[in-house]
Amino acid sequence: MQIENSTVVTEFILLGLTQSQEIQLLVFVLISVFYLIILPGNFFIILTIRSDPGLSAPLYFFLGNLAFLDASYSFIVAPRMLVDFLSEKKVISYRGCITQLFFLHLLGGGEGLLLVVMAFDRYIAICRPLHYSTLMSPKVCYVMVLALWLGGFVHSIIQVALILRLPFCGPNQLDNFFCDVPQVIKLACTDTFVVELLMVFNSGLMTLLCFLGLLASYVVILCRVSVSSSEGKNKAISTCTTHIIIILLMFGPAIFIYTRPFRALAADKVVSFFHTVIFPLMNPVIYTLRNKEVKSSMKKLLIRYVAC
């Protein structure tokens, strides 16, 4: 109750991605196309992996989870953004803002940890193949997925707990198209230096360390593969390259947003747009297009449904 009494602001006004009607129309069409084409594709990837017994390996189990996380992530910001394009006044309640922020970091943190798990899976498969079936058993895979959801929850709840302690008494204009930590903190009616440091540590430093650790792990894997003469060499290189692309798409914008002091830059909105709307829908599709087994299974499943 004390937290609620110290907060006068009951809603935030979102200034949006841009004030240009032409750019808003272009972005509206772009997001709509992505939703109509790529989002169903993500769910089709999940359906394919679950229905094909040949895709029971941990690699595909984690890919299905990646598609689910990214599809869920895309529902946090984009739908409201589309509605706001058609509204004159873009308003989100205080509770709605906190809820959006919570799920944004819950799924974002979970996906970051999932990429770490996928890197570990590839390392064991390539560098410790004799121990793979033991170390990556179905039980271990389920425990890893549970752990990444728990890690995402802990990461997100820390963000929310720190923001709930801040008083908001005005102004209430967020210079963005959704609620996120950097913009919300700046509206607090108190000194936020310590909170900003904690946020940078919780989001920025952890993101940077995960990114560097992932890159280092894939460098080790690629070096190991390059000196190998096995038949699966090209497949391993292709898989690792795809993982690196997804890592860059996931962590690049996050590092730009969260690893520096919360000062507005001209590129912030554009980077946030690709980070929260475009890239989450593209990640599983990029992976699938470079994976022959998944593409083959999707074609068989599609033919089966058309025949029926």
Q: In the prediction, which pLDDT does 308 show?
A: 67
Q: In the prediction, which pLDDT does 186 show?
A: 87
Domain ranges, residue 49:
11-296
Position 2 pLDDT exceeds 50: no
Residue 302 belongs to a domain: no
Position 34 pLDDT exceeds 70: yes
Residue 4 belongs to a domain: no
Position 4 pLDDT exceeds 60: no
Tokens of 256: 């730009």
Residue 259 belongs to a domain: yes
Task: Tell me how far apart the alpha carbons of residues 238 and 115 are, in angstroms, rounded to a whole number.
Answer: 16
Contact present, 291 and 285 (Cβ < 8 Å): no
Closest CA to 165 of 190, 148, 147, 144: 190
β-partners of residue 11 are 93
Region 221-232: what's the mean pLDDT? 74
The one-character DSSP state at 203 is: I
Position 224 pLDDT exceeds 70: yes
Instruction: Please give the biggest Cα pair distance in the chain.
Output: 67
Position 5 pLDDT exceeds 50: no
Residue 6 belongs to a domain: no
Contacts of 205 (CB under 8 A, 6+ apart): 259
Query: pLDDT digit string (tens) for 107-156?
Result: 999 999 999 999 999 889 888 888 899 999 999 999 999 999 999 999 99
Position 288 pLDDT exceeds 80: no
Residue 153 belongs to a domain: yes
SS3 170: coil
Q: Break the chain down into helix, strand, coil percent, rounded to 5.
A: 75, 5, 20
Structurally, the chain folds into a number of domains equal to 1
Residue 306 belongs to a domain: no
Amino acid identity of 124?
I
Amino acid identity of 117?
V
DSSP assignment string, 76-142 = HHHHHHHHHHT-SS-EEEHHHHHHHHHHHHHHHHHHHHHHHHHHHHHHHHHH-GGGHHHHT-HHHHH
Closest CA to 31 of 68, 104, 65, 80: 80
Confidence tier at 229 by pLDDT (50, 70, 90): low
Region 263-275: what's the mean pLDDT? 84
Q: What's the mean per-residue pLDDT of the chain?
A: 86
Q: What is the CATH number of the domain that holds 266?
A: 1.20.1070.10
Task: Tell me how far apart the alpha carbons of residues 12 and 100 are, in angstroms, rounded to a whole number.
Answer: 12
Confidence tier at 232 by pLDDT (50, 70, 90): low
Read off the pTM. 0.89
Percent of the chain with pLDDT over 90: 26
Residue 137 belongs to a domain: yes
Residue 120 belongs to a domain: yes
Query: pLDDT digit string (tens) for 63-117?
Result: 899 889 988 988 898 888 888 888 888 899 999 999 999 999 999 999 999 999 9
Query: pLDDT digit string (tens) for 154-171?
Result: 999 999 999 999 999 878
